[in-house]
Amino acid sequence: MTSVTMPETGGPGDGSVILRCEGITKAFQGVHAVNGAAFDVVKGQVTALIGPNGAGKTTLVNILSGSMTCDRGHEFIGGTEVTNWPSHRIARLGLMRTFQLSRELGGLTVLENLLVAPHQQPGESLFNVFFRPRLVKRQERAYVERALDLLDTYGLYRLRDNRAGELSGGQKKLLEISRAVMVSPQVLLLDEPMAGVNPALIDRIGGYILDLQRSGVTVLMIEHNLNVVEQICDHVIVLAEGRTLATGRLSELRQNEQVVKAYLGEVIDAGTDR
């Protein structure tokens, strides 16, 4: 792995590491999808995870979020080792995620998609439902207010009573992000948030991500759109063949021959004197 100088913190973080992976490895029937990936994500930064198709980016995000277990390696969130913890425990530590192909809860309304997000709600206990209904109602109202605020911010307010399965692709992307934000996450993993959305919406999603960073959320996003990476990401991790190939600012990585060969290829060739 090539190490490139760590960038200065762009957001409100204190420069400490909030997410660390050490030697994460995952093989499927002998084929290594992730092969010793290791990197740090600094608190308060927007970090991009880039790499060619098949580099293991989504598998790695699945492992980091607990949707999949790893064969070897370690994962830490804020100093706590969470290697191979189940999804729900990792989520309760404050790491939320979105999916490469939007996975809305299609039978629920847009509003309900957000309402389901808060962890360990009082109303999820049947004891509270029957014997502490006022507590449940009060908490539910607070959730509804917050959810409506978020739907307003993310431009989905008018669709609040629609079933989520009826939304367009771009709207589903927004719904996924707003659903993850509903629980005020510490770390947000975004799997290709700009994929398949129109240019105007790409601008807006970029704005939302920077807003989240300003509010203290650490973002790790898989992204292929290098304009987006260049403009909103403080730090970039390049993954190739399941390994961390390099880390640093995109401008620095453009000069890295290994990165150019593995991922950037023709685009960089056109802009450099090789």
Residues 102-141 that bind other proteins (CB under 8 A): 103-109, 111-112, 115-117, 119-126, 129-130, 136-137, 140-141
Identify the CA nearest to 213 among candidates 14, 65, 76, 13: 13
Identify the CA nearest to 273 among candidates 255, 248, 251: 255
Of 15 and 145, CB closest to other proteins? 145
Q: How far is CA 133 from the centre of its chain?
A: 35
Of 23 and 204, CB closest to other proteins? 204
Q: ∠136-141-145 over CA atoms, to 5°? A: 150
Residue 269 within binding range of other proteins, rule CB under 8 A: no
Quote the CA–CA distance of 57 and 26 in Å, as a whole number.
Answer: 12
Q: How far is the CB of 177 from other proteins (least distance, A)?
A: 11
Quote the CA–CA distance of 213 and 43 in Å, as a whole number.
Answer: 10
Among 80, 227, 255, 272, binds other proteins (CB under 8 A): 227
Among 46, 178, 208, 222, binds other proteins (CB under 8 A): 208
Pull the structure tokens for residue 150. Answer: 């978020």
Sign of the four-CA dihedral 250, 256, 259, 260: positive
Residue 87 within binding range of other proteins, rule CB under 8 A: yes
Task: Give the per-residue contact string, 67-86, with other proteins (x = CB under 8 A; - = no).
Answer: x------------------x
Q: How far is CA 4 from CA 41, 184, 242, in A?
A: 14, 31, 18
Within residues 150-179, the interface with other proteins by CB under 8 A covers 151-163, 168, 170-171, 174, 179
Task: Give the per-residue contact string, 1-40, with other proteins (x = CB under 8 A; - = no).
Answer: ----------------------------------------
If binding means CB under 8 A, how many residues of this protein chain bind other proteins? 84
Among 43, 97, 243, 249, binds other proteins (CB under 8 A): 97
Check: CB of residue 213 under 8 Å from CB of residue 10. yes
